[in-house]
């Protein structure tokens, strides 16, 4: 369980194709405080720490994980939004995020407005019914507020702090983004389906 508040930006030191894809990620975490088997959200994907070094950690991604996440995300040299799992008593500053990607959206517009960046994202078919204006959505693991919704497209706003502290600063049309809908919307949608 996560909050969508990014605590570090790591970079992929190596990406090795074995039976699965093994990534080694350098980060600023004190690795002495990260257990083997711990969960770390990497750009919105909950991954298990399978090895540690002084500079970072290693994770294994199955073919299913790679297939269901944004194209090009898992390449050597890439940057990842990182968040360690929520601990009892931690502040819930964003919203409840599970680290399970519901689909990959695509940036269709990105323009500066004042000091912020206004971004329009097109969600994949089927997700639009779970996205509501003034609701929450996780975009590459970052908890954001939805400003407007128009069909499958929704608008978000990145304030300078969020842009600086995440990998979202250089968003441009065509970029794929991992999307996780709000867990409450998911369960309400399921309950409505069951009634219908």
Query: pLDDT by residue (tens digit) across 33-70?
Result: 999 999 999 999 999 999 999 899 999 999 999 999 99
Query: Rounded to whole angstroms, how far apart are CA atoms 186 and 177?
Result: 19
Domain extent listing, the chain: 8-84, 103-195
- pLDDT, residue 81, reads 98
Name the fold adopted by 8-84.
Elongation Factor Tu (Ef-tu); domain 3 (2.40.30)
In sequence order, what E strands does the chain have? 8-17, 21-26, 39-42, 45-52, 56-61, 79-84, 103-113, 116-122, 136-139, 142-150, 153-158, 176-181
How far is it, in rounded angstroms, from Cα 117 to Cα 113? 6
> Do the first three CATH levels of 8-84 and 103-195 match, i.e. the same topology?
yes
Alpha carbons 12 and 81: distance in angstroms, whole number: 11
Compute the CA torsion angle 93, 133, 161, 84 (nearest 10 deg).
40
Rounded-to-5 percentages of helix, strand, coil across the chain: 15, 45, 40
C-alpha closest to that of 31 among 3, 61, 10:
10
**Which pLDDT value is given to residue 2?**
94
- pLDDT reported for residue 94: 82
Low-confidence ranges of the chain (pLDDT < 50): none
Q: What pTM value is reported for the model?
A: 0.93
For the record, the structure tokens of 116 come out as 């912020």
Give the CATH architecture of domain 103-195.
Beta Barrel (2.40)
């Amino acid at each position: 369980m996560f909050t969508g508040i990014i605590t570090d930006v790591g970079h992929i030191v190596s990406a090795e194709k074995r039976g699965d894809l093994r990534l080694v990620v350098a980060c600023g975490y004190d690795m002495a405080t990260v257990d083997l088997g711990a969960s770390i959200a990497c750009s919105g994907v909950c991954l298990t720490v399978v090895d540690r070094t002084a500079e970072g950690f290693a994770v294994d991604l199955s073919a299913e994980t790679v297939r269901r996440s944004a194209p090009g995300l898992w390449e050597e040299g890439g940057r990842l939004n990182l968040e360690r799992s929520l601990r009892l008593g931690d502040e819930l500053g964003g919203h409840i995020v599970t680290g399970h990607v519901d689909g990959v959206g695509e940036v269709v517009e990105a323009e500066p407005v004042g000091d912020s960046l206004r971004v329009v994202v097109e969600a994949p078919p089927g997700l639009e019914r779970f996205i509501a204006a003034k609701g929450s959505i996780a975009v590459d693991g970052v908890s954001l507020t939805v400003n407007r919704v128009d069909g499958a497209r929704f608008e978000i706003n990145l304030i300078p702090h969020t842009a600086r502290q995440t990998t979202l600063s250089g968003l441009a049309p065509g970029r794929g983004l991992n999307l996780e809908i709000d867990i409450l919307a998911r369960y309400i949608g399921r309950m409505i389906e069951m009634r219908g």
